[in-house]
């Protein structure tokens, strides 16, 4: 049966109306969103313009860490590492324009794949303030998923001005397996989603400042050249009054 959709005052719905409980069910289509009602971003990484991102890499060991497109069908950006522990890279979109409005909604989603070692590695994706060493010292004001060196858990955290609230072990990373990491803000609750399944909602320490779409990966062990993380797509929709 063909997909159906209905029109809202903010634009056309993104999700099939017959779906129940889907994170994107009530989200307007990014391309058909009324500009006075919000803004949207979608990148399937068919190309990756480095001048649109702030990229920081560490290459102490053999080889060179990079953040760049990789030759895989559908488009993909890869963080690829040099050989030492803590070699790797991060990228933050130069546009610091994504905020969680007090009266509004946000949908964020990223498709990620840690391709080599889901335990001895650090990784993250989400919205964060600009900082060139996010894994070493995560900046104040963020809403993001992170996987810490020493375990395979994807954790979720929200921080307002240096005071965080965390949800541990939202899901488990599996080597060389796509994982969909998403969250939804409805003006009151911030709910993480792991492969489409809702986790425990956060209602405290919600940042009020604009942040940047961000991603990164570091080796967690020595002699780990050419390990890394692939990101297939990132999308974010914000509903807020812009009149």
Query: 12 pLDDT exceeds 50?
Result: yes
Question: Which of 109, 129, 137, 94 minimizes the C-alpha distance to 44?
Answer: 109
Runs of H (alpha helix) within the chain: none
pLDDT digits (tens, 9 = 90+) for 136-167: 999 999 999 999 999 999 999 999 999 999 99
**Which residues are registered as beta bridge partners of 212?**
128
Map residue 31 onto helix, strand or coil: helix
**Any domain includes 33:** no
**Any domain includes 86:** yes
Between 2 and 203, name the one with better pLDDT: 203
**Any domain includes 208:** yes
Q: What is the CATH number of the domain that holds 71?
A: 2.60.120.200
Give CA 121 to chain center in angstroms. 17
**Any domain includes 4:** no
Q: Do the Cβ atoms of 127 and 214 come closer than 8 Å?
A: yes
**Any domain includes 20:** no
pLDDT at 32: 82
Mean pLDDT of the chain: 92
Query: 83 pLDDT exceeds 60?
Result: yes
**Any domain includes 30:** no
pTM to 2 decimals? 0.92
**Any domain includes 24:** no
**Any domain includes 13:** no
Position 5 confidence tier, pLDDT thresholds 50, 70, 90: very low
Domain count, the chain: 1
pLDDT at 89: 98
Sheet holding 142-147, edge to edge: 53-58, 88-93, 212-219, 121-128, 142-147, 153-160, 163-172
pLDDT at 54: 97
Map residue 223 onto helix, strand or coil: coil
Q: Do the Cβ atoms of 150 and 220 come closer than 8 Å?
A: yes
Q: Domain range spanning residue 61?
A: 40-240
Whole-number Å distance between alpha carbons of 16 and 20: 9
């Amino acid at each position: 049966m063909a997909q159906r959709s209905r029109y809202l005052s903010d634009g056309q719905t993104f999700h099939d109306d017959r779906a129940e409980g889907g994170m994107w069910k009530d989200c307007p289509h990014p391309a058909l969103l009324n500009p006075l009602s919000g803004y949207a971003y979608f990148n399937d990484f068919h190309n990756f313009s480095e001048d649109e991102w702030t990229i920081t890499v560490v290459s102490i060991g053999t080889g060179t860490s990079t953040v760049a497109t990789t030759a895989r069908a559908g488009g993909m950006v890869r963080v690829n590492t040099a050989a030492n522990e803590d070699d790797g890279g991060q990228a933050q979109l130069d546009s610091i324009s994504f905020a969680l409005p007090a009266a509004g909604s946000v949908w964020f989603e990223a498709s990620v794949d840690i391709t080599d070692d889901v335990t001895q590695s650090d990784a993250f994706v989400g919205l964060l303030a600009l900082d060139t060493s996010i894994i070493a010292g995560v900046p104040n004001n963020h809403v993001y998923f992170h996987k810490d060196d020493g375990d395979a858990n994807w954790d979720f955290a929200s921080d307002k001005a240096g005071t965080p609230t965390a949800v541990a072990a939202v899901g488990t990373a599996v080597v060389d397996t796509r994982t969909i990491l998403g969250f939804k803000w409805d003006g009151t609750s911030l709910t993480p989603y792991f492969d489409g399944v809702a986790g425990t909602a956060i209602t405290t320490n919600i940042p009020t400042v604009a942040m940047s779409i961000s991603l990164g990966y570091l080796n967690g062990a020595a002699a780990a050249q050419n390990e890394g993380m692939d990101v297939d797509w990132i999308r974010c929709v914000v509903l807020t009054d812009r009149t």
